[in-house]
Structures are given as structure tokens and as C-alpha cells.
């Protein structure tokens, strides 16, 4: 089966065919934005579910103290994958949305720079590996034959979300059109508390020290993995559909790509990365141990 079996191309962008809301896509430009809306925008596998959970914890006391049985996807539903048929216009403010859309599909109302956007990004080699495993799990995605084949597909942009380089570049280079905060997955991993504080400042939400501790504690990989409201295990099995028992919260580490890419694959990735991102201002963290280099891949020692 070819790519069109799984993905739908709309205005140059690939969406998951079986769940995408086509009506919404066609009217996305006019989608009504409220000033206090918050959008979590990501390229797939960059930390979406993590950011969704952190924002849910920041905004909802009932999520923090676990008194409300509402899962993270309900707190921060996907805009274009509205599988639960939520009537967004009836949701109370502040609404939190999640989305993988490229900058050029953003609703016009986001450009008055009032509603907020959190863009979470991650080093693309870890995204590649996470995406490879995820594509093996999710029945509605084309199962890769092997990593080599998936890497080619990823670097050709023939995946949901298209080309990673274009996604991050597009949002970053148009950042002045939006009220947007860039959050780095690896910074969240290294210092979750500071990352939560940075988010609170951007979102203009003041939490007590105790609440802040609760958010940080509940947003760790280990605690999300055992929290049914946060780990999406049931959603994956019952709503999304799986091929195996893989999970959303797979490993949650930095530098897992080192266990998967061959030297040749890594060098090829680096060449393509350099070609596309040479002059790009954001820095990426490829490994926890490395010193950050100016968009250089780490040198193995
Ligand atoms: S998706 O399908 O696009 O919504 O996937 P997304 O949520 O963007 O990315 C999934 C990866 O994020 C990891 N993750 C975390 N890492 C560290 N800490 C926490 N709390 C956390 N929560 C989710 C998740 O494990 C996936 O990465 P991999 O590398 O596959 O483990």
C-alpha cells in the first residue's frame, strides 16, 4: 500500500487520513480564536503529550490533585484530529488545543498575537527513532519495513507532519507573526522545574510552590507512564488502534538515536541536517553529555 492509503495531502501537508477532520481543515483559516486560547504546536514525536500534560496540570487543579477523571487528550484536544467530535465553540475558556500543523495553515486569528502558542521541539534524530517505533505501533500509519526505509521517508518529508526541517523553520521564521514560546524537549528533560516555571511565566499563571512541585512531580516520565490519564495507553489501544503493544511513553530519553543509527546513516543524516539547518539560530541538544554545539551533531569520542 502506498502513502496515499494512510496520509491525506491538504495544501501541501500530510495528515493522518483516517482521523483528520477535513471540514475543519478547509475552514481552518477562519477558525475562531479567543484571546485566551493556548495552542501546543509540535512536529510529531517532539514532546506533544508531555507538553499537553504539563499545561493540563498548570491550568486544572482537578488534574493536579487527581480529583477529576479527565484525560490529557480531553484537556488539550487535537485541532485537526478531533476524533472525539468535541464542539470546540462550546468549550469553556481558556481552551487548550494541540496541533501538528505547519505555520502557513495557522488560523488567521492567531496572528493578532493575543492567543498563545507553545512550540515544543526536539533533536530530529531522536524524533526519527521515536517516530519509527510509533509508526510500527499505530495501525493507521504506514508500517516501516526497517529503519533505513523509514529514515528515507522521514528525510523526504513523506510522513505525517511532512519535513521536520520545514516545520521548525517555518514556525521559527514566522515567530513574529505569533505570540509564541519555543520550548526545548531536552531542556525540559534536564531541568523540568525551570521549564515549568518558564511555561507559567509565558502563560501568566502563577502557581504556589506546592502546586509547582506537584506539576513537576506528575510530569516526570516515570509518573506519566503509570498515570492512565496521562499515558494514553487506553487511547492508543481503544481509540487509535495498534499493531503491537508499543506505547506513547516509550523511552523518554535524549540520544537514543545512538543505539539505532549506523555510522553511515548518522553521517548521511548530518550532511542533510547541515544542508538544511546551517544558518538556523536555534541550537539542538543531541546527547545529554555533550556541550552544545552550534547546530553541529556530536562528535563520537
Ligand atoms: S505524538 O504522537 O506526536 O503526540 O508524540 P509526542 O507526544 O510528540 O512524542 C512522544 C515522545 O515524547 C516522549 N515523552 C516524554 N519524554 C520525557 N519525559 C516525559 N514526561 C515524556 N512524555 C512523553 C515519549 O516517550 C516519546 O519519545 P520516545 O523517544 O519514543 O520515548
Ligand 1 centre to CA of 120 (Å) is 11
59 Cβ contact list (under 8 Å, min separation 6): 75, 94, 96, 203, 205
User: Given ligand 1 and candidates 249, 260, 261, 288, which is best to mutate, with the most ligand atoms within 8 Å of its CB?
Assistant: 249
Q: Measuring from atom 17 of ligand 1, which residue has the nearest CA?
A: 252
The CATH number for 198's domain is: 3.40.50.300
For residue 50 and ligand 1, the question of a CB distance below 6 A is answered with: yes
Q: Is the pTM of this model over 0.75?
A: yes
Q: Give residue 53's pLDDT.
A: 98
For residue 46 and ligand 1, the question of a CB distance below 6 A is answered with: yes
Of the residues 100, 167, 174, 260, only one is catalytic, namely: 100
Q: Measuring from atom 6 of ligand 1, which residue has the nearest CA?
A: 45
186 Cβ contact list (under 8 Å, min separation 6): 122, 123, 254, 284, 285, 288
Structural domain includes residue 300: no
Q: What does each of the 301 residues of the chain score in pLDDT, given as a tens digit?
A: 678 899 999 999 999 999 999 999 999 999 999 999 999 999 999 999 999 999 999 999 999 999 999 999 999 999 999 989 999 999 999 999 999 999 999 999 999 999 999 999 999 999 999 999 999 999 999 999 999 999 999 999 999 999 999 999 999 999 999 999 999 999 999 999 999 999 999 999 999 999 999 999 999 999 999 999 999 999 999 888 999 989 999 999 999 999 999 999 999 999 999 999 999 999 999 998 764 444 444 443 2
Residue 250 CA: nearest ligand 1 atom is 31
What is the chain's alpha carbon radius of gyration, rounded to the nearest angstrom? Answer: 18
For residue 102 and ligand 1, the question of a CB distance below 6 A is answered with: no
User: Given ligand 1 and candidates 46, 130, 190, 287, which is best to mutate, with the most ligand atoms within 8 Å of its CB?
Assistant: 130
Classify residue 21 by burial, with Cβ atoms within 10 Å: 0-12, 13-18, 19+: middle
| Residue 117: closest CA among 182, 48, 189, 198 | 182
Q: Measuring from atom 9 of ligand 1, which residue has the nearest CA?
A: 45
Structural domain includes residue 71: yes
Structural domain includes residue 193: yes
Number of structural domains, the chain? 1
Q: How far apart are CA 148 and CA 141, in angstroms?
A: 17
Q: Give residue 290's pLDDT.
A: 63
Structural domain includes residue 299: no
Domain with 194 in it:
3-293
Q: Give residue 284's pLDDT.
A: 97
Let me know if 53 is a catalytic residue.
no
Q: How far apart are CA 300 and CA 59, in angstroms?
A: 42
Residue by residue, what is the 3-state secondary structure of the chain? CCHHHHEEEECCEEEECCCCCHHHHHCHHHCCCCCCCEEEEECCCCCHHHHHHHHHHHHCHHHHCCCCCCCHHHHCCECCCCCCCCCHHHCCCCCEEEECCCHHHCCHHHHHCCCEEEEEECCHHHHHHHHHHHHHHECCCCCCCCHHHHHHHHHCCCCCCCCHHHHHHHHHHCHHHCEEEEEEHHHHHHCHHHHHHHHHHHHCCCCCHHHHHHHHHHCCHHHHHCCHHHHCHHHHHHHHCECCCCCCCCCCCCCHHHHCCCHHHHHHHHHHHHHHHCCCCCCCCCCCCCCCCCCCCCCCC
For residue 130 and ligand 1, the question of a CB distance below 6 A is answered with: yes
For residue 249 and ligand 1, the question of a CB distance below 6 A is answered with: yes
| Residue 249: closest CA among 133, 139, 95 | 133
Structural domain includes residue 301: no
Residue 256 CA: nearest ligand 1 atom is 29
Ligand 1 centre to CA of 30 (Å) is 31
Q: Which residues pair with 15 in a beta bridge?
A: 8
Structural domain includes residue 210: yes
Structural domain includes residue 103: yes
The C-alpha cell of 12 is what? Answer: 501541501
Structural domain includes residue 24: yes
Handedness of CA 62, 92, 219, 224 (dihedral sign): positive
Ligand 1 centre to CA of 69 (Å) is 22
Handedness of CA 259, 265, 271, 273 (dihedral sign): negative
For residue 48 and ligand 1, the question of a CB distance below 6 A is answered with: yes
Q: Give residue 294's pLDDT.
A: 42
Q: How far apart are CA 200 and CA 26, in angstroms?
A: 33
Amino acid at each position: 500500500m502506498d502513502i496515499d492509503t494512510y496520509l491525506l495531502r491538504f495544501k501541501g501537508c500530510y495528515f493522518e487520513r483516517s482521523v483528520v477532520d477535513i471540514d475543519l481543515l478547509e475552514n481552518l483559516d477562519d477558525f475562531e480564536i479567543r484571546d485566551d486560547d493556548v495552542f501546543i504546536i509540535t512536529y510529531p514525536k517532539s514532546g506533544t503529550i508531555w507538553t499537553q500534560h504539563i499545561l493540563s496540570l498548570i491550568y486544572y487543579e482537578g488534574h493536579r490533585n487527581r480529583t477529576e477523571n479527565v484525560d490529557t487528550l480531553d484537556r488539550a484536544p487535537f485541532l485537526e484530529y478531533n476524533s472525539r467530535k468535541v464542539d470546540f465553540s462550546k468549550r469553556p475558556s481558556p481552551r487548550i488545543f494541540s496541533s501538528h500543523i505547519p505555520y502557513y495553515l495557522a488560523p488567521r486569528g492567531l496572528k493578532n498575537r493575543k492567543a498563545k502558542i507553545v512550540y515544543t521541539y526536539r533533536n530530529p534524530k531522536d524524533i526519527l527513532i521515536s517516530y519509527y517505533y510509533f509508526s510500527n505501533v499505530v495501525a493507521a500509519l504506514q508500517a516501516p519495513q526497517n529503519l533505513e526505509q523509514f529514515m528515507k521517508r522521514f528525510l523526504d518529508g513523506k510522513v505525517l507532519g511532512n519535513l521536520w526541517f520545514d516545520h521548525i523553520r517555518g514556525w521559527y521564521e514566522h515567530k513574529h507573526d505569533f505570540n509564541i514560546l519555543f520550548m526545548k524537549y531536552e531542556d525540559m528533560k534536564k531541568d523540568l522545574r525551570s521549564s515549568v516555571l518558564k511555561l507559567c511565566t509565558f502563560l501568566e499563571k502563577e502557581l504556589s510552590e506546592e502546586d509547582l512541585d506537584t506539576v513537576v512531580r506528575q510530569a516526570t516520565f516515570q509518573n506519566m507512564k503509570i498515570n492512565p490519564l496521562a499515558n494514553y495507553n487506553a487511547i492508543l489501544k481503544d481509540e487509535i488502534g495498534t499493531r503491537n503493544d508499543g506505547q506513547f511513553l516509550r523511552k523518554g530519553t535524549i540520544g537514543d538515536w545512538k543505539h539505532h543509527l549506523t555510522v553511515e546513516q548518522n553521517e548521511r543524516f548530518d550532511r542533510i541536517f547541515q544542508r538544511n539547518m546551517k544558518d538556523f539560530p536555534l541550537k539542538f541538544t543531541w546527547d545529554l553529555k555533550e556541550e552544545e554545539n552550534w547546530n553541529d551533531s556530536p562528535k563520537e569520542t
